[in-house]
Amino acid sequence: MTVFRCDFSKLGKPIGPVIRLNSWEAYMGFPMVQTIPNTCTLVACSVCVEAMHRLKYETWHGAGTFPCRAAAPRQLRRACCRDGIWTPKDGADVDAVLKKLQELGGVRTTNAPGPAPFVLPLRSWQGHHEPTLECVARLLDRGPCIGSVWVCPWWWLFDSSFSDDLVYRGCGRSRGARAASVLLYGPDAVAYHAVVCYKYRRVCVKEEDMKEGEDRGEAEAKEEMHVLVMDNNTATGPSLWIEYEEILSLHSVDVERMEPPIHLGGRQNLGGRQIMM
């Protein structure tokens, strides 16, 4: 049975040989559980900025040296709500949230003991609408990114902890399919959703070119890209493999490496102010 782009007859079948793989999993930290509905964009932006800081810092100073973890985005939510960027019903736009994050000085951290700083600054970001396969690969080769996807009711079936062969396909980039999914399942069962993209694989898959009256057809090889994304709904994410065309927009973020070494008790300069860690 095929529902939009999802072919359930292929569930659990081997994906084929991986011809390229890149991962930032070691720098992702823990998922941030979304405790307030429709705050997925606020949470995904916070988690991605934290991950980029960890990547920049630990690439230089070694694994496990980054002492910070992003706090729940309460201040960010209040500021976005006040300025009309976020609403409890409609959520928020990624670009607007990142701009507000930058205005606030960065992502707040948990109340960890020194040398953890109070905020993780955001230097810049770039957004790409309906990115091509090559664009997705290029951005994810630099670090984790914020992805916007359209979530259908079967999204929750594709937890990668069950199998790496599960690949989510929903409405893709078809506006007609998204509109049809709203009519079919109702507005409470489908929605735009923000996740953190942190790994991709390019695989060689074969499709049987079956002709009428033949028992077997010739297998035609083609390339697919699957992106591993972190959701933030539970303590384990979950993480899901999705086909890259499910990504409606992709935002890369850039941060400056914190210096001198904050894990050794250095002073961190934040906006002209030096704070003893």
3-state secondary structure string across the chain? CEECCEEHHHCCCCCCCEEEEEECHHHCCCCCCCCCCCCHHHHHHHHHHHHHHHHHHHHHHCCCCCCCCECCCHHHHHHHHHCCCEECCCEECHHHHHHHHHHCCCEEECCCCCCCCCEECCCEEEEEECCCHHHHHHHHCCCCEEEEEEECHHHHHCECCCCCCCEECCCCCCHHHHHHHHHHHCCCCCEEEEEEEEEEEEEEEEEEECCCCCCCCEEEEEEEEEEEEEEEEECCEEEEEEEHHHEEEEEEEECCCCCCCHHHCCEEEECCEEEEC
Confirm if 268 and 275 have CB atoms less than 8 A apart.
Answer: yes
Question: In this structure, is residue 268 part of a structural domain?
Answer: no
Question: According to the model, what pLDDT value does residue 6 have?
Answer: 64
Confidence bin at 212 (pLDDT 50/70/90): very low
User: Shortest CA distance to 54 belongs to which of 72, 67, 73, 45?
Assistant: 67
Question: In this structure, is residue 15 part of a structural domain?
Answer: yes
What average pLDDT does the segment 156-160 reach?
Answer: 92
What average pLDDT does the segment 97-118 reach?
Answer: 84
- Say whether the peptide bond before residue 115 is cis (omega within 30 degrees of 0): yes
Distance CA 187, CA 146 (A): 23
- Radius of gyration of the chain measured on its C-alpha atoms: 20
Question: In this structure, is residue 264 part of a structural domain?
Answer: no
Inform me whether the pLDDT recorded for 270 exceeds 80.
Answer: no
Question: According to the model, what pLDDT value does residue 112 have?
Answer: 61
Confirm if 70 and 50 have CB atoms less than 8 A apart.
Answer: yes
Give the residue numbers spanning the domain of 129.
2-208+219-253
For 162, what's the count of Cα atoms within 13 Å in the CB-facing half-sphere? 12
Question: According to the model, what pLDDT value does residue 208 have?
Answer: 56
Distance CA 196, CA 228 (A): 9
Question: In this structure, is residue 260 part of a structural domain?
Answer: no
Question: In this structure, is residue 156 part of a structural domain?
Answer: yes
The single residue listed with the structure tokens 């942190």 is: 198
Distance CA 4, CA 155 (A): 13
- Say whether the peptide bond before residue 14 is cis (omega within 30 degrees of 0): no
Distance CA 225, CA 19 (A): 10
What average pLDDT does the segment 190-207 reach?
Answer: 92
Question: In this structure, is residue 266 part of a structural domain?
Answer: no
Inform me whether the pLDDT recorded for 277 exceeds 80.
Answer: no
Confirm if 58 and 65 have CB atoms less than 8 A apart.
Answer: yes
What average pLDDT does the segment 52-79 reach?
Answer: 94
CATH number, residue 192: 3.90.70.10
| Number of domains the chain contains | 1
What does DSSP say about strands 167-168 and 237-243: parallel, antiparallel, or unpaired? parallel
Question: According to the model, what pLDDT value does residue 11 have?
Answer: 61
Inform me whether the pLDDT recorded for 195 exceeds 50.
Answer: yes
The single residue listed with the structure tokens 């961190």 is: 268
Question: In this structure, is residue 271 part of a structural domain?
Answer: no
The reported pTM is 0.86
Inform me whether the pLDDT recorded for 244 exceeds 60.
Answer: yes
Question: In this structure, is residue 249 part of a structural domain?
Answer: yes
Residue-averaged pLDDT of the chain: 86
